[in-house]
Structure 1
C-alpha cells in the first residue's frame, strides 16, 4: 500500500506543469505552422503571466471566505479543464482568425491561457492537499512535479523534428499565395523551405498531454480513496488547519515541519538543524534580488527570444534546445537536493555564470538571422549547450534561494513568491513590445537568407 501511495503521489505531481512544459518543447514544430511565427514564444510568456489570475482568485477567496473553498473542488475543476484544453488543442490548434487586421492563432492562444491557468493554480492547491499525507509522500509529489518537465522533453526527443530542405518551386505571374520563404527575386523561380514530417504529429503530442493530465486526475481520485486505516489515519495527518486551500496557504511550512518532526524516524530521513539563519538586511536584499533577476531571465526575457536565438541554426538545434533545457530544470532540482550549497557568494557566482549563458543566447537572437557560426556544427552545439546550462544553473539558484528563505520564516517564503511573480512579469512585459511592436529581432529563412561568410 505504501508503494501504491508513492506511485499515486508521483502521478498526481506529474499533472502540475506538464501541459505548459509540453507546449514549450513542442514550439519548434508549432512556430512553423502558426501565423505568429517566431514571435509566438513572446505571446506565450505574457499569457502565462496573465494566468496568475487563478492563484490570485484562490488567495482572495481564502482571505474573504475562509474555510469555504476546498482544494478538492478546485483540483477536480482545474484538472478537468486541463484535460479538455489539451484535447481541444489537438483538433483546433491550427485555427486562425483575423484580429486587429492581422491573422492570429486565436484557438491556440486561448487554450494556452486555460492550460496556464490550470498549471499556475496547481501551485496553490496541489501542495495543500498533499500536506494531508505524511511528509515522505510530499517528497514523492515533488519528484512527480519535476517529471512534469522531464517527461514531455523525453517524448519530444522521441518525436524528432521535421528536417528542413530547400526546394526550387515555380510561381506563376499571378501567383499571390503566401510562401513561407522570402523570394530572392521577382523571377518565376524561388526557393522555399520544406519541412519533413516528424516521427509523430503535433496532434498526437497534444493527446499525450491530455493523457498525462487524465493520469493526474485519476491519481488524485485514488489518493482520496486510500483507506484511512492505513497511513492516512488521523494520527498521521497534519492538523485540520490544512484541510482547505485557505488554511494550507496560511502556514504550510510550519505544518510541514510539524509533520516532519513526527515522522522523521519512520521516513528514515534526517534534516540538518539549521534553525533560522538570521540573514542581515543586506543579505536578504541580495537574496530577493537574485529571485527577481533569475526568474525574470528564465520566465520572461530569454523564453521570448528563444526562436530567434535557435532557429537560424535549424529546426534540430531549436528542438534540442527546447527539449534538453526543459529536462535540465528537474535535473538541477535533483542536484540541489543531494548537493545543496547555501553560500551567497557561490549562488551569486552561479547566477553570474547563468546570466553569461543567457547573454550569449540574447546576443545570438539579436544577430538573427545571421548569428555566429551559423552554418556549422560547432554553432549548433554551442547554442544547445548554452540554453541547457542557462536553464540548469539558474534553476539550481532558484531552488536554493527558495530553501534558504523557507528556513528563514514563512513570511520570507511568501515574499519570495511575490518576488518570483514580479521578476517573471517584468521580464515578460518588457520583452513583448520589443519583439512584437518594435521588431528589434529579425526572423529569417535558411533557404533564402544570405549571410556573410
Structure 2
C-alpha cells in the first residue's frame, strides 16, 4: 500500500535519470566542432596568426582526426564477431578529450614558425584541437551504437545532448563577447604644405591619419572559456561511467545488449562498470510466461496473481530473486498495481519483453495478452539495406559535407564583413539552431522521405546564400545596413535547423527499420565521409587559390587620410 501511494514511481525516476545522463554524455560529441568553433570570432579579434583563415585550418585539423575512426574500424574488423569494441573505444576517446582540453587552458596561445610556408601559426591550439577532434570523429562510430543499445526513446535525447555540445558553449560565448567592433580613430595630425608650380600658390592643409581601435573588451579571456570546455568533458565522462555503473540503469538496456563481466565477482564499484554480467535468457519460467498468451482470468485479484505464480513462481520468490536474474519484489508490486487498474474489465495485463539474439527477433506480449511481432519494436539480427537506405545515406553524406565541412570553412568570410559583433552572433546562433532541429524530431518524429527532401532542399538554399555572400567578401551586399546583418544571421539559422532536422530524421528512419547497430555505424561513417569531402574541397580554395578575401578593417583605416584646407598664399615676384 505504501508504494502504491508514491506519486513519483521508481520507473519514472529511472527514466528521468537515464535521459539526463544520456544528454550529458552527448555533450562531448561535437565539442571541437561546436564548442571550440564558437570561440573563433574572439580569436580572430585578438589577432591569431591565421586570421580569417583559422576556420579552414580548424576544419582540416578536425578531418585529420579521421585516423581515430579508421583505427577503430580496423580493430573492429579483426576482432571476434561477438566482440564489440564500442565501450573501450569510448573510454579511450573520453580520456584523450579530457587531457587535451586541460592542456589547452595553458598553451592555447603558443605560436611557432612553420617551415612548410615560413609563416607563424597557432601550433599548440591546432595540435590540441586535433586530439579533441578524435572524440568528435570517433563518436560517430562508437557513441551512436552504444546509445542504440538503450531503449529507442533515448536516441533523441542523445541528439539533444549532441546539440547542446554547441548550444551551451554558444551561450557562454555570447556572454563573453567578441571584444567589440573595430573603429577608426584619429591617430596623428600634421600640417601639409604644397606649392602649385603653375600658379605659384602655396596651399596649407591640416591632415589627420587614422588607426584601428577596439570599442570594447571580452568579458573574460579564452583561458576561462577553455576551462569551461574541460568541465564539459569531465561531466560527460562521469555520465558515461554512471550509465555503465548504476544498477538502476541496467534495465534501460535492450535485452540483446551484452554487458560483459565475470560471474565470480560481486563487485559493484565503478571499477566494474565495464564488466557487467550477461543477461540470462534461458530461464524456463520467463519462457513459460512469454508463451502464456491468455491472461483474461476472471476472479479476484488473488486468483489472478495465483495464476501467474503457477507459471513463474520465481517472480514472487524473495529469496532467490538474485540468482534467477529477475526482480521479484518489484514484479509483484507492478503486477498488483496492474491488477487493480484492470479489475473492472477482468483482465490482467502484463507486458513481458523477452528478446533473443538469434534471427527470431523479439517477442512482445501486448496488452491484449497475445504475442506481437512488431518489427518497429523489435531488433533485427541481420540488416538488409534497400534502395531507400542507400538514398538516405547519400543525402546524409551531402548535408554532412555542407554543415560540417564546406559552410564552416567560409563562415568568417560570410559574416566578417558585417562586423565582429555580427560575426559572433552568426557563429553562436548557427550552433544553437542545430539542436532545435533535433527537438522538432523528438516532438513529432516522422519517417517521410518527402520531409527529408524538403528539409534538405531548404538547408541547401540557405547555405547557398551564405556561400554567395562569402564570395563577395570583403564588400558583401547590404554592408553597413541592419537588413544585411539580419539576412546573414537568418540564413545561418535556417541552414542549421534544416540540416539538423534532416539528419535526425534519417537516423530515426534507420533506427526503426532494424539492424540498428550496422545502420548507426554507417550513419556515422557517412557523416565522417561527408565532412571529409567538404573540408578537402574548401581548404585549397581558401588557402591555395585564395578565392575568398577576408574583411580587414585596418586596411581601409590605416590608408585613410583626411585634410582640411587652412589657406593659400601667393608668392611675390622679384
- TM-score (norm. length: structure 2): 0.65
Q: 2:52 aligns with which of 20, 31, 38?
A: 38
Kindly report which structure 2 residues correspond to 1:102-181, keeping only aligned pairs within 5 A, or say none.
102-130=119-147, 133-135=150-152, 140-164=157-181, 165-169=183-187
Kindly report which structure 2 residues correspond to 1:229-248, keeping only aligned pairs within 5 A, or say none.
230-232=248-250, 238-241=255-258, 243=260
Unaligned runs of 5+ in 1: 172-186, 246-253, 266-270
SS at match of 1:440: coil
SS at match of 1:192: strand
Deviation at 1:400, TM superposition (A): 1.7
Deviation at 1:327, TM superposition (A): 1.0
The answer as to 2:79 corresponding to 1:79 is no
Task: Provide the residue aligned with 1:48 in structure 2.
Answer: 62
Unaligned runs of 5+ in 2: 1-12, 190-206, 262-273, 275-355, 368-373, 558-574
Q: 1:18 aligns with which of 21, 31, 44?
A: 31
Higher relative contact order (CA 8 A, sep 6+): 1
SS at match of 1:369: coil
Name the structure with the higher helix share: 1
Deviation at 1:316, TM superposition (A): 1.1
Deviation at 1:118, TM superposition (A): 1.7
- Matched pairs, number: 418
The answer as to 2:220 corresponding to 1:203 is no
For residues 350 and 240 of structure 1, the distance between their equivalents in structure 2, rounded to whole angstroms, comes to 34
The answer as to 2:531 corresponding to 1:424 is yes
Deviation at 1:199, TM superposition (A): 1.7
Deviation at 1:350, TM superposition (A): 2.8
Which has the larger displacement, 101-110 or 68-77?
A: 68-77
Question: How big is the alpha-carbon RMSD for the aligned residues of Structure 1 and Structure 2?
Answer: 3.5
The answer as to 2:22 corresponding to 1:9 is yes
SS at match of 1:21: helix
Deviation at 1:365, TM superposition (A): 0.6
Deviation at 1:91, TM superposition (A): 1.6
The answer as to 2:459 corresponding to 1:445 is no
Kindly report which structure 2 residues correspond to 1:22-421, keeping only aligned pairs within 5 A, or say none.
22-32=35-45, 33-66=47-80, 71-99=86-114, 100=116, 101-130=118-147, 133-135=150-152, 140-164=157-181, 165-169=183-187, 189-194=209-214, 196-226=216-246, 228=247, 230-232=248-250, 238-241=255-258, 243=260, 273=376, 281=387, 286-408=391-513, 410=515, 414-421=521-528
Tell whether the 8 Å contact from 1:288 to 1:419 is kept in structure 2 after alignment.
yes
Bigger-Rg structure (1/2): 2
Task: Provide the residue aligned with 2:370 in structure 1.
Answer: none
Deviation at 1:206, TM superposition (A): 0.5
Deviation at 1:129, TM superposition (A): 4.2
Tell whether the 8 Å contact from 2:410 to 2:467 is kept in structure 1 after alignment.
yes
SS at match of 1:210: helix
Deviation at 1:394, TM superposition (A): 1.5
For residues 460 and 156 of structure 2, the distance between their equivalents in structure 1, rounded to whole angstroms, comes to 30
> Structure 1 pair 263/130, CA: closer, same or farther in 2 (3 Å)?
farther
Deviation at 1:217, TM superposition (A): 1.8
Tell whether the 8 Å contact from 1:12 to 1:217 is kept in structure 2 after alignment.
yes
Tell whether the 8 Å contact from 1:47 to 1:113 is kept in structure 2 after alignment.
yes
For residues 149 and 94 of structure 1, the distance between their equivalents in structure 2, rounded to whole angstroms, comes to 22
Task: Provide the residue aligned with 1:436 in structure 2.
Answer: 543
For residues 224 and 121 of structure 2, the distance between their equivalents in structure 1, rounded to whole angstroms, comes to 23
For residues 123 and 338 of structure 1, the distance between their equivalents in structure 2, rounded to whole angstroms, comes to 23
Which has the larger displacement, 398-407 or 38-47?
A: 398-407
Offset from partner CA, 1:146-198 (integer Å, 9 cap, x none): 32222112222222221122233359xxxxxxxxxxxxxxx994422436212
Deviation at 1:86, TM superposition (A): 1.6
For residues 21 and 264 of structure 1, the distance between their equivalents in structure 2, rounded to whole angstroms, comes to 43
For residues 366 and 212 of structure 2, the distance between their equivalents in structure 1, rounded to whole angstroms, comes to 63
For residues 363 and 53 of structure 2, the distance between their equivalents in structure 1, rounded to whole angstroms, comes to 50
- TM-score (norm. length: structure 1): 0.81
For residues 320 and 422 of structure 1, the distance between their equivalents in structure 2, rounded to whole angstroms, comes to 29
> Structure 1 pair 5/351, CA: closer, same or farther in 2 (3 Å)?
closer
SS at match of 1:166: strand
